């Protein structure tokens, strides 16, 4: 009989943006700057890599650490999408209008 050893923990360099999805039911994210809006079917999250839209069913926050930029969600994940237009930092609506 062979026993499978537990894999060593994976560490990520500080500041890296990482998404981990387990069986489309649990999602861990790093480098989260803010949650702009959310409900049970959609999360709009501001990350260091731009705006991340997560769509699903019965989505809920399980863990949030604002200081470390960590977020864990549970629910049924249907899709994820980055919005490249929002990646430009420091440019708000008025700046885009009047340059």
Per-residue pLDDT tens over the stretch 57-98: 999 999 999 889 999 999 999 999 998 754 445 556 555 566
pLDDT at 15: 75
Tokens representing residue 15 in the block = 């500041």
* Number of Cα atoms under 13 Å in the Cβ half of residue 12: 14
For the chain, the structural domain boundaries read 19-85
The CA distances from residue 2 to 8, 22, 61, in Å, are 18, 25, 38
Verdict on whether the full-model pTM lies above 0.75: no
Tell me, which fold does domain 19-85 have in CATH?
Immunoglobulin-like (2.60.40)
């Amino acid at each position: 009989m062979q026993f499978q050893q537990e894999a060593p923990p994976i560490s990520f360099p500080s500041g890296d943006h990482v998404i981990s999805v387990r069986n489309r039911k649990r999602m861990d994210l790093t480098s989260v700057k803010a949650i702009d809006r959310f409900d049970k079917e959609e999360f709009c999250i501001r990350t260091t890599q731009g705006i991340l839209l997560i769509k699903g069913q019965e989505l809920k926050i399980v863990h949030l650490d604002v200081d470390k930029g960590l977020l864990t969600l549970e629910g049924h994940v249907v899709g994820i999408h980055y919005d490249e237009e929002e990646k430009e930092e420091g440019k708000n609506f008025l700046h885009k209008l009047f340059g």
